[in-house]
């Protein structure tokens, strides 16, 4: 799922500074699961903003709502009339939802969240990036563990010299993390597929990754 964090309240208040009538619109999919932008977070954020603006002597009228998926017009459309009556919308969806509303409506759509990555639930309260959406998956060769997302250097042919004796990576953002290639080696052993380690990947064709600009998926059979 897409993992996001709520922006600091100071930044949100600054974005809302020019407006007195705003819809706070959440999304009940990924960002609700990671507790950043669902219905509950809309309510909590709206209360905090109302209070802060009242204390500033500049009250704000906030309408609260949440849609099933903000990245899809179908779910946003029932909110069209309400949106058109606002000075701005504060979106608690990921960046895709903000883009979607901005394409459809001629008013400022403000992002309440910082969109982070595709993540799995590692355990309660911890989400970890495990896929970087490269567009050309090799997980069948690596035992279902992605070296692009999990190796700090995106290495495709085994570990670098920075793997520590305890199997952790020398690059550490949030404390020691296992080296992706140690995980892959162990996993391939369990699957009886360690011979996959002998396969050398050619230099990756990154044309399916996002560096060539925005990507699209077109299903001709679904077009109307």
Binding site for ligand SF4 (CB under 6 A): 131-134, 137-139, 146, 148-149, 151-153, 155, 159-160, 162-163, 169-171, 179-181
195 Rama class: left (phi>0) / alpha (psi -120 to 50) / beta: alpha
Q: Are 101 and 91 in contact (CB under 8 A)?
A: yes
Identify which of residues 153 and 194 has a Cβ nearer to ligand SF4 in the complex. 153
- Provide the minimum distance between the beta carbon of 202 and ligand SF4 in the complex, in angstroms, as a whole number: 14
Identify which of residues 17 and 170 has a Cβ nearer to ligand SF4 in the complex. 170
Identify which of residues 60 and 180 has a Cβ nearer to ligand SF4 in the complex. 180
Cα radius of gyration (the chain):
22
Residues with Cβ within 8 Å of 128's Cβ and at least 6 positions away in sequence, in order, are: 119, 120, 122
Q: Of 121, 72, 76, which Cα lies nearest the Cα of 96?
A: 72
Q: Which residue has the tokens 């799922």?
A: 1
Identify which of residues 203 and 223 has a Cβ nearer to ligand SF4 in the complex. 203
Q: What is the largest CA-CA distance in the chain?
A: 69
- Provide the minimum distance between the beta carbon of 139 and ligand SF4 in the complex, in angstroms, as a whole number: 5
Identify which of residues 62 and 184 has a Cβ nearer to ligand SF4 in the complex. 184
Q: Are 155 and 162 in contact (CB under 8 A)?
A: no
- Provide the minimum distance between the beta carbon of 77 and ligand SF4 in the complex, in angstroms, as a whole number: 32
- Provide the minimum distance between the beta carbon of 180 and ligand SF4 in the complex, in angstroms, as a whole number: 4
- Provide the minimum distance between the beta carbon of 179 and ligand SF4 in the complex, in angstroms, as a whole number: 3
| Sign (positive or negative) of CA dihedral 93, 94, 98, 100 | negative
């Amino acid at each position: 799922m897409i993992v996001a964090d709520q922006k600091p309240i100071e930044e949100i208040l600054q974005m809302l500074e020019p407006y007195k009538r705003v819809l706070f619109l959440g999304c009940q999919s990924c960002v609700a699961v990671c507790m950043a932008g669902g219905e509950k977070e809309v309510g909590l954020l709206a209360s905090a903003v109302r209070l802060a603006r009242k204390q500033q002597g500049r009250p704000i009228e906030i309408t609260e709502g949440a849609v099933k998926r903000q990245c899809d017009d179908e779910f946003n459309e029932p909110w069209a009339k309400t949106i058109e009556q606002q000075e701005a919308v504060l979106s608690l969806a990921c960046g895709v939802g903000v883009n979607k509303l901005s394409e459809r409506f001629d008013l400022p759509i403000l992002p309440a969240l910082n969109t982070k990555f595709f993540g799995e639930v590692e355990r309660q309260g911890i989400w970890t990036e495990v896929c970087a959406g490269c567009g050309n998956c090799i997980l069948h060769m690596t035992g279902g563990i992605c070296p692009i997302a999990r190796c700090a250097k995106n290495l495709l042919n085994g570990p670098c010299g920075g793997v520590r004796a305890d199997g952790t990576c020398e690059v550490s953002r949030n404390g020691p993390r296992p080296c992706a290639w140690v995980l892959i080696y162990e996993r391939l052993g369990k699957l009886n597929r360690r011979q996959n380690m002998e396969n050398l990947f050619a230099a990756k064709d990154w044309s399916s990754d996002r560096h060539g600009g925005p990507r699209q998926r077109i299903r001709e059979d679904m077009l109307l």
